[in-house]
Amino acid sequence: FVLFLVAESHFYKLFYKLLMSKATPTHGLVKDPDLPVTADGVTYHLNCKSDQLADRILLVGDPGRVDTVAAYFDAGSVRFRSENREIFIATGTYKGTPVSVLSTGMGTDNVEIVINEIHVLKEYDFERSAWRPRAGDANVPAGVKVFDPSSVKMIRVGTCGSPYPDMPLAALAVTRHVIGMDNTCLYYKVKEEMQKSKDLQEVQRVVKEQTSLGAIDVYATKAHPAITNGIVAACKTFNGNLPAGAKEQLYVVGATATASGFYACQGRAVGRFREHLLAPKLVEELSKVQFDVSEGKEIVANIEMETSAVCFLSHLLGYQAGSMCVVVAKRAGAEHLFTTSEQSGQGLKNAIQIALEAIVALQ
């Protein structure tokens, strides 16, 4: 009897998985170890074909959140699902517009994998066995459509800690500039325009001079302004549409610091590691810096583990990407707090709805 009840509660999900599993080819033969893609066009980590991934993508960290996001898609619209390692994907529509949600797992190294494979899925033409041409390329073959990189739009929806003393718990930190404290993107040479950007130089200079990260080769990047502005507009609409008396979703636009770990890499001292921390005062230092950028004064809104690679690699490819994270840990100010699961749950629900509205509204 117990068995029956357990099984029943999973009936729908299992049946669904069985149906969907047919749409998900698993690793076939890979020929080139430098570009591991199967003969039928499935990438190595994403386990997905070109036509199974939408141009508008929400990136979450936690594979468990892919289902949470897909629950907001139009009823019955999910046409593709896959699961491989920590990378889960669901593709459907939101208010009629095709959208995918994809979990990166934690860290910039995972994001590097995801953005490279999205690049393959969007721009490699498996029929012609050639990369799709873009406007401005030399020798575009006759009859072949050019690819517009700005059609790829991505918003990361994650969780984070905050060094900003006035940050409300469970507020959204919306990324403008990014401090790359990881080194994933150092393996990519920057574009000349990025090297010359006064704003990015300012971010790098201030971090180098005013924190203990002098010994780290910190890089700077930026969310695509259309994404940052789109998220802010969606936050305003979300709050404007709330029923009377409902609690507004607070948000703060600022810089995001991306770390290559969660503990010492974010200034957290654990047990015997305490004496080995390179930057034990990192949070306090980041709570004080201010960047003097084109948009005005910018504070560090949050610390997390993925945004630098999302924004940097997208920018190199001409894709539009940005990031918004629910603050689950307040690490500076009068009180240091962690959200209850109710608080972070509500923040994430709001964040998902705002992100979906933002991504389908983008031109």
Binding of a copy of itself by 167 (CB under 8 A): no
- Give, as ranges, the residues between 344 and 363 that touch a copy of itself (CB under 8 A): none
- Point out which span in 8-16, 48-56, 230-238, 248-256 binds a copy of itself (CB under 8 A): 8-16
Binding of a copy of itself by 187 (CB under 8 A): yes
Which of residues 263, 281, 292, 361 is near a copy of itself by CB under 8 A?
Answer: 263
Nearest approach in angstroms of CB 229 to a copy of itself is: 26
- Give, as ranges, the residues between 280 and 309 that touch a copy of itself (CB under 8 A): 305, 309
Nearest approach in angstroms of CB 244 to a copy of itself is: 31
**Nearest-angstrom CA–CA distance, 128 and 121:** 14
**Nearest-angstrom CA–CA distance, 125 and 174:** 35
**Nearest-angstrom CA–CA distance, 339 and 16:** 34
Binding of a copy of itself by 8 (CB under 8 A): yes
Enclosing H/E stretch for 179: strand 172-180
- Point out which span in 72-80, 241-249, 291-299, 338-346 binds a copy of itself (CB under 8 A): 338-346
- Give, as ranges, the residues between 118 and 157 that touch a copy of itself (CB under 8 A): 119-120, 123-124, 131
Give yes or no for a contact between 40 and 52, defined as CB atoms under 8 angstroms apart.
Answer: no
# of chain residues touching a copy of itself (CB under 8 A): 86
Which two tokens mark 352? 């998902």
Give yes or no for a contact between 298 and 164, defined as CB atoms under 8 angstroms apart.
Answer: no
- Give, as ranges, the residues between 214 and 253 that touch a copy of itself (CB under 8 A): 215-217
Q: Which residues 6+ apart lie within 8 Å of 93 measured at CB?
A: 73, 74, 77, 99
**CA terminus-to-terminus distance, the chain:** 54
